[in-house]
Structure 1
């Protein structure tokens, strides 16, 4: 039994890409339900992932590998550490060749895993999902990012990936600032506005924000979800019908965000701030609240110790968030059965409990096993969302390139160069064009 970890440089990966550029693609790009090109090698399992060893996911994958090696003493497990950027940029080229991993971590969504599925570069996993009970374990909105149709659109068709952790956007708050102001954690959107007004009346800008990157878009989307139902989410994210960008849901959200900016709940200079700027300012105590993702959990814990708490966006049944990244099996993998066995191992309780204990938001974990109060609070908040099937994905997901559109349009709202109606016009135009391109219309 041998476990070897290797780091593959960007130069090496690009060189490999050049060698495989003219190779043939295996599989049929969507037909069939069997993983991989076969089982020509039952002695080696090659895993690609991009998690740090000390991260929640890195620790969980290490536990899964340990279990897998114990149960397969005659199999050599080779772990090749990539970076997110390496895999994102080069996967389409590398996976056309024969020298591919057996299983790898990959980003979820139409523009990422969906494209690999549509191009036949990753194998369908539907049979394995049924045999291993993944469909029963990962239900509702968790399952959405695992399945893709023949056009690579998520939410239906075969399974092409398996998530085993989650992520979501919530509200981080400074306990000392709330206590000094005599304020309680809000449970409704109206109460949140009252809290923000109280801080502003005391000369404190209530929300740490960042308009130059993703946070402002996620705040806008939380306000959309405050007015929306699952039907609108499916229209927007899954193209299950047409989205009315000037309908009541998006209009109310955009106008409300506009009022928050006008009332000073969002700092006027936030249009040029990055997510890093936002996070640092919140952790320093410059702002009492930050609306952002669970990926900040470890850093906020380290920086602020016990002087903070976290709650779900008040009043919402739907929340910005999704499953984590996916385990996928390349079509040309030569140890596909071992690959699906490894994927199944990552969903075992002992691996999921590692995620739970380290703040990794397991999809099949038990929050009662968590001893740390902060980690348990985060996990219970996520579980409450899952119990309501409340994951509604991210505002920039529907079409390629939409992230830049969302950022630029909302920057225009913050710097007062566009009205809410004009912002919605810009969002609609890019969305409509992107959807047409994806569907070949």
Structure 2
């Protein structure tokens, strides 16, 4: 590679942040799209071996080939540090040209409302992103003046997806004579059969996100798109004591009492859950597509993945967003790089590696397991079935959901009391967002 095309890879954000913070008082003339036209600085937090890491590497290779006089600086950051410090370093001028960032009201929405990231609507229209990406994927890209997701300008561009489904241990199903459930009744029958055989059926974790996503699957089983839009996008008021939330929470309580969920799961982490499923302790795990690559590598038994039975909607969303800081020096180069990540050759890498492309085609995927998972995701997109995640609506709601559902597992609160706790925090957070 020629010297003028050398790509620099920096360390974690723990190293990059002091430089960014020290530059906050300086003036490099950033934010105009001019600046150092010979450099594109990219920040992302994907592992090099992951589907996204490999796809971004391909995108950078294409960019370098098409822009031989531009040096690409790639800085591998950490999700936690960017999440925690983005508002601080983006106020300075020593910022990346394009960076990966989390989507939702409490994250990208806040940066958008504070003017820290660049509106991308004109680029989305002129480059065809608005035509390429499915509507439910575009929801996470758009934010209004208050930073609420789902309308307004584009502030980010997603290029992969994720969803929650059911992973199953086929060997354990076969041992009990259970077919892979295709209806909710069959799913509950499977839970009862396993429990009768002395096997706790569902691997989950109450101290982190998994139990909340299981609960949300049940909410979606009893709810509809109008409920999701009211809950996630504030289109209407939400009554947590109404039918869908009540049925879901009472059903989860019923499963807890029946022993379908381990009594100690309130204290378990997502890692505990995943390891227990990989080890064959539990036959079922309701969790996300982000586990797929690890399961492929580590599971010693026959297994599979399916959608939650009879649900029209599922927890899931676009993946993280590419955003362009308002003070970026080379915005035009950033737009070009983002556009490349949506090209077929980059999207195909995501597909082949299990990364759920949002502008790809499952027909080109050769591995059967990967193809099946991608087809499940495509079926969700085709039916406008992405319902996002339960903790998204308001800042701090993740911790509330964890705490309230731990109380349900521990049987220290009734379903109605849990719903009161969820409702109170939701309404307070919603008020803060709308009036803030």
Same fold (TM over 0.5): yes
> 2: distance between equivalents of 1:223 and 1:167?
18
- Give the C-alpha shift of residue 95 in structure 1: 1.1
TM-score w.r.t. length of structure 1: 0.95
1:26–1:96 contact (8 Å) kept in structure 2: no
* Partner SS state of residue 268, structure 1: coil
Q: What corresponds to 2:220 in structure 1?
A: 225
- Give the C-alpha shift of residue 174 in structure 1: 0.2
Q: Is there any run of 5+ residues in structure 2 with no aligned partner, and where?
A: none
| 2:400 aligned residue (395, 401, 405) | 405
- Give the C-alpha shift of residue 316 in structure 1: 0.4
Residue 134 (str. 1) matches residue 129 (str. 2): yes
2:21–2:92 contact (8 Å) kept in structure 1: no
> 2: distance between equivalents of 1:10 and 1:51?
13
1:25–1:121 contact (8 Å) kept in structure 2: no
2:169–2:302 contact (8 Å) kept in structure 1: yes
Residue 156 (str. 1) matches residue 151 (str. 2): yes
> 1: distance between equivalents of 2:319 and 2:239?
29
Alignment of 1:185-196 (within 5 A): 185-196=180-191
> 2: distance between equivalents of 1:410 and 1:433?
19
Residue 244 (str. 1) matches residue 239 (str. 2): yes
| 1:424 aligned residue (408, 411, 419) | 419
Q: Deviations over 1:258-296 (max 9, x none)?
A: 101111111111111111111111111111000000111
- Give the C-alpha shift of residue 21 in structure 1: 4.3
Q: What corresponds to 1:325 in structure 2?
A: 320
- Give the C-alpha shift of residue 37 in structure 1: 2.5
> 2: distance between equivalents of 1:370 and 1:147?
30
Q: What corresponds to 1:176 in structure 2?
A: 171
- Give the C-alpha shift of residue 418 in structure 1: 0.4
* Partner SS state of residue 310, structure 2: coil
> 1: distance between equivalents of 2:214 and 2:231?
17
The 1:191/1:25 distance shift into structure 2, 3 A limit, reads farther
Count of equivalent residues: 433
* Partner SS state of residue 264, structure 2: helix
Q: What corresponds to 1:387 in structure 2?
A: 382
The 1:327/1:10 distance shift into structure 2, 3 A limit, reads closer
Larger deviation, residues 87-96 vs 122-131: 87-96
Larger deviation, residues 192-201 vs 157-166: 192-201
| 2:294 aligned residue (281, 295, 299) | 299
Q: What corresponds to 2:55 in structure 1?
A: 60
TM-score w.r.t. length of structure 2: 0.96
> 1: distance between equivalents of 2:29 and 2:116?
7
Q: What corresponds to 2:341 in structure 1?
A: 346
CA-based RMSD of the aligned residues comes to: 1.6
2:13–2:76 contact (8 Å) kept in structure 1: no
| 1:289 aligned residue (278, 281, 284) | 284
- Give the C-alpha shift of residue 335 in structure 1: 1.0
Q: What corresponds to 2:311 in structure 1?
A: 316
